[in-house]
Amino acid sequence: MTWRALPRRLAVLNAKGGTGKTTLAVQLAAGLARRGPTALGDLDPQGSAAQWLRAGGVPVHDGEAVWRVDAAHLVWDCPPSVEHPAAQRALREADAVLVPVLPSPLDLWASWRLVEAIRAEQARRAALRAWLVVNQLEPGSALSAAMHEALREFELPALRAVVRRRAVYRSAALQGVSVYDLGPRAAAAVADIEAVIEEMQA
């Protein structure tokens, strides 16, 4: 198998709120930081990523600084809107885009317009990679047939890796750390995040 380089600029983007952009951006930044110098760019005016990692190991940038960071990997936590200028700029400047979606077809359909915007950007820049990633799947349960069907309708591939609903993601957020800092009780969450990172370079 040939391995691709991990994205240098990864935008975590969805027009829909609450799908897990900040959670995934923070955890992926923590995972990427184990592979090379990594920074997190907080593009959301709510500033949740910046708040989250104020005590953690990954440097967080906001404002104009997010566009100028010099790091092997830069992860952008985007605001929940395709129209937001920062989200648009992230889409134009990213090497890769990850779209977290909840495991329900209705939620997925709410991302249709964003997927069209990503496809339009890919038509301009063939090198732009993009995936849907299912977040908050109930542990132990499989994706429903309806969800598989809905994912197939989209022109973006879905990662085989899924991120499950786990309380440790919430406790990590409360403690201002990543799941990598939480020891054995977060092992399954770390495995989720590692699987996402590995699939991005497969």
- Please give the residue ranges that form the binding site for ligand ATP (CB under 6 A): 17-23, 44, 48, 80, 135-136, 163, 165-166, 169-170, 173
What does the block give as tokens for 117?
Answer: 């915007």
**Residue 8, contacted partner among Mg ion, ligand ATP, none, CB below 5-8 A by kind:** none
Which residues lie below 8 Å from residue 198, measured CB to CB, with a gap of 6+?
A: 161
Q: Which is nearer to ligand ATP, 12 or 96 (CB)?
A: 12
Helix, strand, coil shares of the chain, percent, nearest 5, are: 45, 15, 35
- 28 contacts 99 by C-beta, under 8 angstroms: no
DSSP state of 55: G
Report which residue type is found at 193.
I
Q: Which is nearer to ligand ATP, 112 or 125 (CB)?
A: 112
Place of tokens 């005016």: 45
Q: H or E segment at 31?
A: helix 21-33
Which positions lie near Mg ion, rule CB under 5 A? Answer: 21-22, 48
Q: Which is nearer to ligand ATP, 154 or 169 (CB)?
A: 169
CB of 22 to Mg ion, least distance (A): 3
Please, what's the largest Cα pairwise distance for the chain?
44
Q: Which is nearer to ligand ATP, 72 or 89 (CB)?
A: 89
CB of 85 to ligand ATP, least distance (A): 16
Among residues 54, 33, 37, the alpha carbon closest in space to that of 180 is found at 33
CB of 1 to ligand ATP, least distance (A): 28
**Residue 119, contacted partner among Mg ion, ligand ATP, none, CB below 5-8 A by kind:** none
Q: Which is nearer to Mg ion, 22 or 38 (CB)?
A: 22
CB of 135 to ligand ATP, least distance (A): 5
CB of 23 to ligand ATP, least distance (A): 3
**Residue 19, contacted partner among ligand ATP, Mg ion, none, CB below 5-8 A by kind:** ligand ATP
* Rounded Cα gap, residues 43 and 46, in angstroms: 9
